[in-house]
Amino acid sequence: MAKDLKNTGAGQTVAGSVIKTVKVPEWRNVSVVLREPSAEAWYLWQEVLNGDGEDDDTLSVVAKTRRNLEADVTLFCDVLCDTDLQRVFTPDDREQVLAVYGPVHARLLRQALELIADAESARKK
């Protein structure tokens, strides 16, 4: 029975997620699949934002910006998939992605986050 479920796609990374295929002109027009963030990614995102329990008021602007960027990268690594619906990055790739994260990455993350709102709209209908 479990094997049958895997064959239906239930075992895929994006199973049950809302997805969207987009072309990225800045990356030689490659097609990627964006998915809504997983529960695990939201947990990790919150963990990064909470940091070491530091108070926001004591952090410098640079430290807050870095922390927010790290949180965004955490979600980005979770939402970006190839056209075979496999995640492009793992949580272990976060530092590498952080080094190159820019406006294109942020735009793709924003589009993936918009999928959550789309899913909420569909549920209400």
What's the burial of 124, exposed, middle or buried (CB within 10 Å: 0-12/13-18/19+)?
exposed
pTM for the full predicted model: 0.80
Q: Is the pLDDT of residue 66 over 70?
A: yes
Q: Which CATH code of 3.40.30.10, 3.30.2220.20, 1.20.120.420, 1.20.1070.10 fits the domain covering 17-124? A: 3.30.2220.20
The domain spans of the chain are: 17-124
pLDDT of residue 15: 59
Q: Is the pLDDT of residue 103 over 60?
A: yes
Confidence category of residue 38, pLDDT binned at 50, 70, 90: very high
